Structure 1
């Protein structure tokens, strides 16, 4: 319905168009409406009067009229000295939403707890919710940042929030993958933030997670991260805090070097790749979990094969198990015990390499 854009609905939440009035009123009375009902009134989504139902994305649920009223009055307060007309309009809208509020209370009385999960549809809605949570935060922010080297644009995007938090004495703890250590942008960011931010790294982390004051959490709601969930249910938030704290205890401070594998010629990253290969993961999955490209992952696998003297993927799996690389880094004391000053695969007489050079790597 591209023809029903904002040009045909040049209004705010305080003066809905006739079509918007009908659809929003119906949503309040019934508790939700099909997403198709909003095709002719995109203004309701743009004004966040309707948002996706967390239980079924094909339906839209109404924003509580009380919340809309609060938003209206906040915006009008900033403009009251410039426009008395806007105040009168908001007061009228307030009365209209107050009448609808009685209908929504009756509908939602049996749906206790649904307000604890809010779907944020679109980057602008996500940014607005994040800014609101940042302003309310007074003590602590916990974040998990998956992927590899952090791009300058990503770091710059959230810099204003981090600076504002630091100014209020808020402490921040960030978890990254080990690959992020190689990004100069991250190092510059941490130097700028000083002791307000503490960073640690792991071979792999969970998907993106941001926690404010252990009361509200944000997680992605789709693969391309154009939708997010804002979670305020105490049980859910506490669960994510527990996950973060356990990962934090396993992580290595960014200021500390990664532990040596104890096997000559095997890097920490190659040890991580070996453990994931032993679990049966494909190259693309390993690359995604470690925050590297598939091409880089395959280059490491080729070096592993060469170091361990494996001529095929099957032989590589055997050699990984023989030298104890089938366990995650730091999770097995036997790994260091295999160190002998030379690469284990090269000292073995049980594996014969073919004459035609390096093994093939898919």
Structure 2
């Protein structure tokens, strides 16, 4: 939208251009408009008067006039004496738009329970607002492997501000994140304000503030996000987090032994996913490692189990009991079945 937005439609949200007036009025009357109808007036998206429909991204739904007015008045409040004329204009304009559509029912407006955030700048602005309002707790799930240090550095000032307000934080990572020195440095700086645990696999990125608002990605490249404030949805995500947290291993604790001689913890996880029929790229993504690293582990697994092909590897995995959950610790190591051509495995 660069170069086609408010430069061609110079106005604020309280006084639309003629093209914007027509499209926004139509959206309020009908409840939504096709995305192509708004292409000629990108100002409506840039001013957040229209946003993607969570149920169908090909449509745009209007931000309720009441919400737009509230947003305007929030900024006006700090400059009341110099903004009386603009305030009156905003109220008059959006009261007129409000009359075009159905009157709101009792309870929260539909658009506030699920909000689509389009673009990294809007996502970050919403996250900053939620961070500033947070008073008690932040829960996060961070998928992938080792966290890049620039991401940790960018988030450090927000985390320090939360800690200064007494906010407690709990973070879930994959086991691979244990190998990142940047994460260890970050946790040392944060002290007991942050608890971190790891799992072999986690769900996609999730951030929960005070158990009242959640953020999740809405597309693969994370340029779209959903801001969720519906109590039932947020509580469901809190429950998912708490169950993963109970299964996770504290970052300061060592990973458990697999109980099988010659098979590492990660190789056991890869074997279980291979037994489920997953391809190398899927396994690598789920475990937060590169495809190359994943294939190196599979090669070592094949060597240890004496498998000459993928088909034979599947059989060996089943014979060794690697296709199911790990055995309880304390039962002692499991001896691999004797297979032709397999040398003595070494513990890795």
TM-score (norm 2): 0.91
Alignment pair present for 1:144 and 2:141 = yes
Alignment pair present for 1:177 and 2:166 = no
Residue 328 of structure 2 corresponds to 333
Could you list the per-position Cα deviations for residues 111-141 of structure 1 after superposition, in whole angstroms to 9, with x for gaps in the alignment? 9745311111111111111111111211111
**What's the CA shift for 1:87?**
4.0
Alignment pair present for 1:290 and 2:279 = no
2:260, 2:300 → 1: CA distance?
A: 13
Which 10-residue stretch deviates more, 310-319 or 130-139?
310-319
Which 10-residue stretch deviates more, 225-234 or 14-23?
14-23
Residue 52 of structure 2 corresponds to 52
CA change 1:190–1:105 in 2 (3 A) is farther
Residue 358 of structure 1 corresponds to none
Which 4+ residue blocks in structure 1 deviate beyond 6 angstroms? 107-112
Could you list the per-position Cα deviations for residues 190-232 of structure 1 after superposition, in whole angstroms to 9, with x for gaps in the alignment? 1111111100000000111111111111111111100011111
**What's the CA shift for 1:302?**
0.6
Residue 221 of structure 2 corresponds to 224
2:210, 2:104 → 1: CA distance?
A: 32
**What's the CA shift for 1:80?**
4.8
Q: Structure 1 unaligned runs (5+)?
A: 354-362
Residue 91 of structure 2 corresponds to 94
Could you list the per-position Cα deviations for residues 143-200 of structure 1 after superposition, in whole angstroms to 9, with x for gaps in the alignment? 1111111112222332232122111111111100000011111111111111111000
**What's the CA shift for 1:334?**
8.7
1:240, 1:129 → 2: CA distance?
A: 19
CA change 1:212–1:107 in 2 (3 A) is closer
> Partner of 1:262: helix, strand, or coil?
coil
Do 1:261 and 1:336's aligned partners in 2 also have CA atoms closer than 8 Å? Answer: no
Alignment pair present for 1:189 and 2:186 = yes
1:310, 1:334 → 2: CA distance?
A: 27
Alignment pair present for 1:351 and 2:340 = yes
Residue 360 of structure 1 corresponds to none
Alignment pair present for 1:198 and 2:195 = yes
1:334, 1:249 → 2: CA distance?
A: 17
Residue 268 of structure 1 corresponds to 265
Do 2:64 and 2:111's aligned partners in 1 also have CA atoms closer than 8 Å? Answer: no
Cα RMSD (Å)? 2.4
Alignment pair present for 1:65 and 2:65 = yes
> Partner of 1:325: helix, strand, or coil?
coil
> Partner of 1:6: helix, strand, or coil?
coil
Q: Structure 2 unaligned runs (5+)?
A: 343-348
Q: Quick one: which of 218, 227, 244 aligns to 1:247?
A: 244
**What's the CA shift for 1:72?**
1.1
**What's the CA shift for 1:265?**
2.5
Alignment pair present for 1:41 and 2:41 = yes
2:11, 2:180 → 1: CA distance?
A: 45
Q: Quick one: which of 287, 309, 333 aligns to 2:306?
A: 309
**What's the CA shift for 1:352?**
3.9
CA change 1:324–1:334 in 2 (3 A) is farther
Q: How many residues align?
A: 343
Residue 323 of structure 1 corresponds to 320
> Partner of 1:200: helix, strand, or coil?
strand
**What's the CA shift for 1:109?**
8.4
Which 10-residue stretch deviates more, 23-32 or 6-15?
6-15
CA change 1:194–1:276 in 2 (3 A) is same
1:280, 1:335 → 2: CA distance?
A: 30
> Partner of 2:100: helix, strand, or coil?
helix
2:214, 2:141 → 1: CA distance?
A: 11
Residue 124 of structure 1 corresponds to 121
Residue 23 of structure 1 corresponds to 23
Do 2:257 and 2:329's aligned partners in 1 also have CA atoms closer than 8 Å? Answer: no
**What's the CA shift for 1:108?**
7.4
